Amino acid sequence: MAKQYSFYPGCSSQKKASSYNQLRSTQTICQELGIQLNEISDWNCCSASIGYCGGGELPRLVLSARNLALSEKEHPGQDLVATCAACWLATREAQERLEHDPQLKTEANEALKEAGLTFKGEKKVRHLVEVLIEDVGYDEIRKHVKKPLKGIKIAGYVGCQTNRPFGIVGESFENPVYLDKMIDAVGAEPITNYQKKVACCGGALMFSEPEKSQALVKDILEAAHDAGADMLVTPCPVCQMNTEVYQSFINKKYGTNFNMPSVYYSTIMSVAFGKTAKEAALDGQMIRAKQLEEVAAR
Amino acid sequence: MSNAYRNNFLREVTANVEEGEWVKMCMQCGVCSGSCPLGPHWEHPPQEIFMMIRAGKREEVLKSNSMWYCTSCYNCIARCPRGLPITHIMHGLAHYAKRLGMVPQNQQTAKFAQKFWDNLTKKGRVNELTLGLSLYFMNGFGEGVKTSLKMQGVGLGMLKTQRMDPLEILGGHGCKDVAGLQAALKKARQIEEAKAVKV
Ligand code: SF4
Ligand code: SF4
């Protein structure tokens, strides 16, 4: 029987939103690996580390507490799992802060009463990557590979929020290696000395401070290019979007020539598992991942 | 209301700013300041902000652009030897400055962050299309048209890859119990504001 999880998809994963392609490829690999994601029915936005202008501490914590309360009610006994770095971080942060601070918890529950909900604090909040590593395991992932991604050189770009302050279980802040291991497990070649592995892409400030953020992305792409990478792979929707869609702006400003695909770990896994280009959501790439398309067409 | 904190900004921050009670723990090592991705753009990097809070420089801190350059990368938190939740203090200072009406004019991140909050509280979920449009037009119509044209390639690309939905303009995604969510948020805000010490 498939393993059951309470799933928090988040705003950017909604149908036809910016990381809809992540959701599609995630569904593909979960089906293959026997992971069942049960969507929290009426989840709300987590405010993604940028709601703080309008939203104070307690209102922002209440956003996540509501999702946790719904999950407790609808999916008792199941871990809450998120695929988006910001969703995971905000939810786990809320869970831990409310657990450690009884007064905050009381206040959050006073507010939630208005929506007829109670946060008990009985959930473990996990990233899907942790489910893949701990509950499935690299060896099992390897067993599902039908088309190894031989000869494709991939820079594992971990970024910030999947890595700090919590990080994926068992990994270090300065040099997490889980993406390298996943890349290796699907038969591709990880760029193990990738210099910008945990560098910041500017996050949401790409919208408000585009030039400053694009300068950060330029360095991230340059380091991957210089290390011989064919593409980037990332776990984070914001990292993916920021490293992919602004390359033409960066080329124009810096006279560079970047045209580097940036994909999700779920994309490369889907292709290696022998799924179609559609199942891997390769049609969701603005910069097409031609090497992956070739493997998928084989 | 008492004027208890008029001359003590550190105590004001401790009482009214998210995780503000940690500020006094800073030992001024500077590791946080060396960790910010947009560090060169901060007029006063975090270490300096903490020093200025202790020195009572209320106006300079709250009217600063600095904390609005925080990308929420959590580098500082991972490295601070004293365990300060620096990211949250930066968000807390930004929010407090906003509440007091002390944000510098035309602070782009403040504008975006406010739009994000307004967008999400309207329906419970963020509508990327209307958020994006309001963002491009946030500096006026003329600027908006220019930005929209510049971003046209991105928009078309997102549309083609099924990562944008033009129908979202009609409302789009949302929570079913928006009313409950909004009531909970209102209550949370009331609780928080009732606790704040007036200055
Ligand atoms: S790293 Fe921590 S102790 Fe060092 S200056 Fe920054 S806040 Fe203070
Ligand atoms: S989280 Fe903010 S304050 Fe901390 S290092 Fe990153 S940008 Fe600087």
Q: Give the whole-angstrom CA distance, residue B64 versus residue B60.
A: 6
The domain A140-296 is placed in CATH, from the list 3.40.50.300, 3.40.50.10540, 3.40.50.11810, 3.20.20.140, at: 3.40.50.11810
- The predicted pLDDT at position B1 comes to 45
Highest mean pLDDT among A5-14, B9-18, B135-144, B145-154: B9-18
Please spell the DSSP secondary structure of chain A, one letter per residue. -PEEEEEE--GGGSTTSTTHHHHHHHHHHHHHHTEEEEE-TT-----TTTTTTT--HHHHHHHHHHHHHHHHHHSTTPPEEESSHHHHHHHHHHHHHHHH-HHHHHHHHHHHGGGT--------EEEHHHIIIIII-HHHHHHT-SS--TT-EEEE---STTTSSS-STT--SS---HHHHHHHHTT-EE-TT-TTTT----TTHHHHSHHHHHHHHHHHHHHHHHTT-SEEEES-HHHHHHHHHTHHHHHHHH-------EEEHHHHHHHHTT--TTTTTGGG-SS--HHHHHHHH-
CA–CA min distance B184, chain A (Å):
5
B16 lines ligand 2 (CB under 6 A): no
Buried b (16+ CB within 10 A) or exposed e, A19-28: bbbbbbbbbb
Domains in chain B, CATH or no CATH each: 3-105 (1.10.1060), 108-194 (no CATH)
Which chain A residues have a beta carbon less than 8 Å from that of B41?
209, 212
- B interface mutation test: which of A161, A207, A293 has the most B CBs within 10 A? A207
CA–centroid distance, residue B14 to ligand 2 (Å):
20
* pLDDT band with cut points at 50, 70 and 90 for residue B133: low
Lowest mean pLDDT among A220-224, B38-42, B80-84, B151-155: B151-155
The residue type of B88 is H
Asked if A244 and B157 count as a contact pair (C-beta separation under 8 A), the reply is no
User: What mean pLDDT do residues B67-93 have?
Assistant: 97
CA–CA min distance A220, chain B (Å):
12
Q: Kindly provide the ipTM of the predicted complex, given to two decimals.
A: 0.93
CA–centroid distance, residue A221 to ligand 1 (Å):
30
Low-confidence residues in chain A, pLDDT < 70: 15-16, 19
- The predicted pLDDT at position B146 comes to 60
Buried b (16+ CB within 10 A) or exposed e, A157-178: bbbbbbbbbbbbeebebeebbb
- The predicted pLDDT at position A76 comes to 97
CA–CA min distance A226, chain B (Å):
21
* pLDDT band with cut points at 50, 70 and 90 for residue B199: confident
- DSSP assigned state of B197: P
Nearest to B175 by CA among B131, B114, B133, B120: B120
pLDDT of residue B13 exceeding 90, the answer is yes
* Cis before A165? omega within 30: yes
Please spell the DSSP secondary structure of B64-124, one letter per residue. -SGGGG-----HHHHH-TT---HHHHHHHHHHHHHHTT-PPTT-HHHHHHHHHHHHHHHHS
CA–centroid distance, residue A125 to ligand 1 (Å):
28
* pLDDT band with cut points at 50, 70 and 90 for residue B132: low
B81 φ, ψ to 5°? Answer: -65, -20
pLDDT of residue B155 exceeding 80, the answer is no
- The predicted pLDDT at position B127 comes to 72
- In this complex, which of A53, A165, A283 lies closest to B95 when CB atoms are compared? A53
Asked if A24 and B162 count as a contact pair (C-beta separation under 8 A), the reply is no
User: What mean pLDDT do residues B82-100 have?
Assistant: 97
Residues carrying CATH 3.40.50.11810, chain A: 140-296
Which of B86, B88, B109 has most ligand 2 atoms within 8 Å of CB, for mutation?
Answer: B86
Dmax over CA atoms of chain B, in Å, equals 59
B114 and chain A: CB distance < 8 Å anywhere? yes
Which of B21, B32, B36, B44 has most ligand 1 atoms within 8 Å of CB, for mutation?
Answer: B32
- In this complex, which of A54, A56, A164 lies closest to B114 when CB atoms are compared? A54
User: What mean pLDDT do residues B28-36 have?
Assistant: 96
B49 lines ligand 2 (CB under 6 A): no
- In this complex, which of A16, A62, A117 lies closest to B165 when CB atoms are compared? A16
- The predicted pLDDT at position A12 comes to 78
Joined together, the tokens standing for residue B173 give: 């995604």
- The predicted pLDDT at position B6 comes to 60
- The predicted pLDDT at position A21 comes to 83
Residues carrying CATH 1.20.1050.140, chain A: 3-128
Level-2 CATH architecture, domain A3-128 = Up-down Bundle (1.20)
- A interface mutation test: which of B162, B169, B170 has the most A CBs within 10 A? B162
Residue B28: count of CB within 10 angstroms of its CB: 12
- The predicted pLDDT at position B170 comes to 53
- The predicted pLDDT at position B172 comes to 59
Please spell the DSSP secondary structure of B110-179, one letter per residue. HHHHHHHHHHHHHHSS--HHHHHHHHHTTT-HHHHHHHHHHTHHHHHHHHHTT---GGGGG-----TTHH
Q: Distances in Å between the alpha carbon of A110 and those of A62, A83, B58?
A: 10, 29, 33
Joined together, the tokens standing for residue B36 give: 């910010």
User: What mean pLDDT do residues B48-64 have?
Assistant: 97
In this structure, the dihedral spanned by the alpha carbons of residues A42, A48, A50 and A53, taken in order and rounded to 10 degrees, is 30
User: What mean pLDDT do residues B165-184 have?
Assistant: 77
Whose alpha carbon is nearest atom 6 of ligand 1?
B32
Instruction: Let me know if B98 is exposed, middle or buried by CB neighbors in 10 A (0-12, 13-18, 19+).
Output: buried
